[in-house]
Amino acid sequence: MKFGVVIFPGSNCDQDAYYAVRDVLKQPVEYIWHQETDVSGFDCVILPGGFSYGDYLRTGAVARFSPVMNAVQEFSDNGGRVLGICNGFQILCEAHLVPGALIPNNTLRFRCKYVNVRAENTTSDYSHKCAKGQVLKIPIAHHGGQYYCDPDTLKALEDNNRVLLRYCDPAGNVTDAANPNGSMNAIAGILNDRGNVAGMMPHPERAIEPILGSADGRFILQSIVERLEGCKV
Amino acid sequence: MPIINTEPIDPKVYRDMGLNDEEYAEVTKVLGRHPTYTEVGMYAVMWSEHCGYKYSRPILRLFKKYREAIDGAGLENAGVIDIGDGFGIVMKMESHNHPSAVEPFQGAATGIGGILRDIFTMGARPIACLDSLRFGPLDDPRNRYLFEHVVGGIGFYGNCVGVPTVAGEVYFEDCYSGNCLVNAMSVGLMKHEDIAFARASGPGNPVLLVGSRTGRDGIHGATFASVRLDEESEGRKSNVQMGDPFTEKLLIEATLEALKTGHIVGIQDMGAAGITCSTCETAAKAGTGMRIDVRKVPLRETGMSPYEIMLSESQERMLAIVKKGREDDVAAIFKKWGLNAVVIGHVTDDGLVHVYDGDELVAQIPAKSLADEAPMYYLDAEEPAYLAKLQNYDLSSVPEPKDYNEALLKVLAAPSIASKQWVYEQYDHMVQTNTAILPGSDAAVLRIRGTRKAIGIVTDCNGRYCYLDPFVGAKIAVAEAARNLACSGARPAGVTDCLNFGNPEKPEAFWQFKRAVEGLAEACEFFDAPVVSGNVSFYNETPDGSIYPTPVIGMLGVLDDTEKRCSSEFKDAGDVIALISGPPVGPPPVGRGHDVPAQLGLGGSEYLKTVHGIVAGRPPALDMDREKRVHQVVLKAIGKGIIKSAHDCADGGLAVTLAESCILGAVGADVKLTANCAPAAALFAETQSRIVVSVASENLGALREIVDECCVECTILGKTGGNVMRITVNDVEVVSVAVKDLESTWRDAIPSKMALSSS
């Protein structure tokens, strides 16, 4: 089993994701340079957070055209697992690997803080370690994290259990006050229709050890590890 | 082919650039001729106060390490703080006040960019940023505009480069209207052997310009920073540089990768004075010269003159001196990261900086004369007339408030006291995943991976204290920073400073500067926290007057065991609240600032200003020995795991300290104070050397043992619990407020003001 962490110019959570996989989860991991054209040797590819190409245009709009994204597309078409975190989620949306868009926060400001998210789908490769409705404490750090899509897409996401995480209060209630960016249906993370590609705005790699304030991010990342190992369902 | 120029420069030209007549005469003496237009520009910017420290150098010698470094091996090695395990920390703080006052977003953003480059050019990876900010009152839309966009600019830059902004401070005072202070600090981590030097060694070695292209932005930014702000300053927006954090991020990665090759013999960032500064300083440090051709510099605009190219302050550029024959290897690394890397010249052995425009020689200047030989002025210092009057203000005439609850809420709602969550939520403070104590506590704590250690970092300065007594105020800044670190479990290891003052050519302002530096130097030595780097910002004045003297310090502390850290919020109901403070008896401290009992500490307090509109009195007295012993108690108690929380008593006084620990811990408190003064002074006096701790009752005995060992006093104030904060003074209840009301007042103060429109 091998994880890959893509480095786009301007990625800045690449080293954090790498550290979380290698040093905390103790799993093999390698960096993938944005000019790579083949990622088939990996089992899970992580698109990390950051400001790819500066994100001076729309977030993720330039990165989706980098060579590695063709390879990631092919990889996911073949059923490979792809996790996009924050800027990685934005890139996945731009590349149409997951539906919808991430528009500027309704506060119009960057927000960095711990939030609570409720595990909705608890059978996916990215969440089967969570109990149904389990509340995870995981931080966000973004300016453009408001999830938006058309009504049909939203219905498809909800009807097919493709909402992975939803912003909530500490008790698990979905409220306007607990929604940090105005996302539709308080969506914090989603799956593609096959369930092998996931995008999320919260940073599980930041909530990876108690010293950082929470280790709840392990529920996400360890889900992937165990699914890849095939040892637990 | 020397330059022979017999044409004198028009005095209006060099005066506009910032050189006075004597300085121009000195230039002609050094050169043995009249300078070219390009040369005048180069001297004007390098001999500005901003680059040349022509007024501050004599005073900065008061800092021990600075003095030793200047007289010895230079400032670079001296700037590294050894934290053990083979690791060193470098840190520096710099002002971007003037650019931020006219163009807050880019002014603040480029402040972050510049200070980051200072760190990674030394071979260290930037691991944290801090920001010390000051604005005028938020009731004025212009101040809201500045605040909004300074914070926005810091976030824009810092968030993109992936360096967490973990701590800082924000104050609001009338004197900063029109002249806000934006002091940015960065902290870097390195292995000792990875240190890089800003030296152009080895004649014949090629000189590379790497990073962004050069444009017309920021020409004479350093000169602009060395004059007073006035009505015309708005028109100087073209003096402000534009930041590109994306390129900076690439530059960080490419530079650290390139340094690892060992092919780079010297490297310096380009900030103030751009190519002029980096070429002459690196050559001067190595005792060499340099020959460059401005036509080789990648430009982003057409038709730029040699003068403009030499003085451009375009951001995200570095000068790298590379081993001969290795230039292609080094350039390849920068190119891999999508950056320019172009050979613009080479090192020479004649001590001169030769600047060519193609075949034409446009400047030929001794490197040392530009870099090291700026004229030095010994300015007159005179105690300002306002001081005696304010210090002797009779505070006994100040009435007690009618309602102490109301007074407390008013102080909590003062933007200088209120929660800064609105600010730090706009900064990514978690990237790099090392932040072990997040913003909002006494000091930020970052673990050092691969060791058990952590560092604590904090910035501090109470400008009002410094206005009322710059010597005592500066000492308090150091003491309070060390106290904040102690509350987090860290002992002081080093200091960087950013000294913000008015026009030094006025004897009163220079006196404030001198006294403040004397205070800093004394306190830093006492707390074993040497000043390893710093920056001076003068001319912080508008036609309405000068800012408060504001010597901001950034202090680094070390925790030997990351697990032995502490935060400021009460943890559980039923814990004992205790105040660790100086010894109760003993001879009163003598000397200036101590001869009046400081009206029991109300002088210069937030309470006096906010509730009574008075800025007067003497700042609280400081006994450094007592202060240090209080820190020792808290450090020992944290080390032994005896106390659950520690929070320093500072701005706002004891009542505010208790309220903050209640709010952050979401628990109430019942506190009984015994005081030989009126309740207002008991609640709001900003008496120094005090720390509020909470402790499980079974550990109280162990705490008392440490307290006795260190000869300080420990007063039991009460217990945590419930959801109301109650305080009695001499058995009379004066404060009783629900924690949720304290919290909403404290948290909403800044957001509600910022919800009003800004200009």
- Domain borders along chain A are 3-229
Which is it for strands B360-366 and B444-447: parallel, antiparallel or unpaired? unpaired
| Nearest residue, CB atoms, B429 vs list A112, A205, A208 | A112
Same-domain status, B66 and B117? no
Same-domain status, B71 and B117? no
| Nearest residue, CB atoms, A112 vs list B247, B425, B433 | B425
Distance from CA of B86 to the nearest CA of A (A): 21
Confidence of residue B5 (pLDDT cuts 50, 70, 90): low
- Interface touch A54/B337, C-beta < 8 Å: no
Q: Does B545 touch chain A (CB under 8 A)?
A: no
Contacts of B159 in chain A (CB under 8 A): 51, 110, 112, 141, 143
Q: Assign a CATH topology to domain A3-229.
A: Rossmann fold (3.40.50)
Q: Does B431 touch chain A (CB under 8 A)?
A: yes
| Nearest residue, CB atoms, B430 vs list A20, A53, A141 | A141
Asked if residue B211 is part of any domain, the answer here is yes
Q: Does A57 touch chain B (CB under 8 A)?
A: no
Q: Which of A13, A44, A86, A93 is catalytic?
A: A86
| pLDDT surpassing 90 at residue A142 | yes
| Nearest residue, CB atoms, B433 vs list A50, A110, A212 | A212
Same-domain status, B62 and B3? yes
Average pLDDT over residues B158-183: 97
- Interface touch A13/B162, C-beta < 8 Å: yes
Domain range for residue B180? 83-194+419-565
Structure tokens at B68: 């030793």
Strand, coil or helix: B141: helix
Asked if residue B678 is part of any domain, the answer here is yes
Same-domain status, B103 and B184? yes
| Residue of chain A whose Cα is closest to the Cα of B440 | A113
Confidence of residue A233 (pLDDT cuts 50, 70, 90): very low
Same-domain status, B36 and B94? no
- Interface touch A51/B433, C-beta < 8 Å: no
In terms of pTM, does the model score above 0.80? yes
Distance from CA of A110 to the nearest CA of B (A): 5
pLDDT value of residue B3: 72
Q: Does A67 touch chain B (CB under 8 A)?
A: no
Q: Does B436 touch chain A (CB under 8 A)?
A: yes
Measuring CA to CA, how many Å separate A143 from each of B24, B151, B416, B422, B425?
Answer: 50, 14, 26, 14, 11
Strand, coil or helix: B443: coil
| Residue of chain A whose Cα is closest to the Cα of B161 | A12
Report pLDDT digits (tens) over B212-263. Answer: 999 987 776 666 666 676 666 666 656 677 889 999 999 999 999 999 999 9
Average pLDDT over residues B423-438: 97
CB distance A122 to A131 below 8 Å? yes
* Distance from chain centroid for Cα A95: 14
- Interface touch B431/A16, C-beta < 8 Å: yes
Asked if residue B411 is part of any domain, the answer here is no
Average pLDDT over residues B667-688: 93
Query: Which residues of B carry out catalysis?
Result: 50, 96
Same-domain status, B168 and B98? yes
Q: What is the DSSP string of B459-512?
A: EE--HHHHHH-HHHHHHHHHHHHHHHHHHHT-EEEEEEEEEE-S-TTSHHHHHH
| Residue of chain B whose Cα is closest to the Cα of A113 | B425
| pLDDT surpassing 70 at residue B590 | no
- Interface touch A54/B160, C-beta < 8 Å: yes
Same-domain status, B578 and B526? no
Measuring CA to CA, how many Å separate B131 from each of B71, B93, B218, B250?
Answer: 31, 9, 22, 23
Same-domain status, B518 and B634? no
Identify the domain boundary among B525, B550, B565.
B565
Same-domain status, B19 and B135? no
From CA B194, how far away is CA B259, in angstroms rounded?
A: 8
Same-domain status, B18 and B6? yes
Asked if residue B304 is part of any domain, the answer here is yes
Identify the domain boundary among B538, B565, B592.
B565
The count of domains in chain B is: 3
Distance from CA of A22 to the nearest CA of B (A): 14
pLDDT value of residue B589: 41
Identify the domain boundary among B504, B535, B565.
B565
Same-domain status, B556 and B600? no
Same-domain status, B96 and B173? yes
Report pLDDT digits (tens) over B68-114. Answer: 777 766 666 668 999 999 999 999 999 999 999 999 999 999 999 99
pLDDT value of residue B55: 87
| pLDDT surpassing 90 at residue B698 | yes
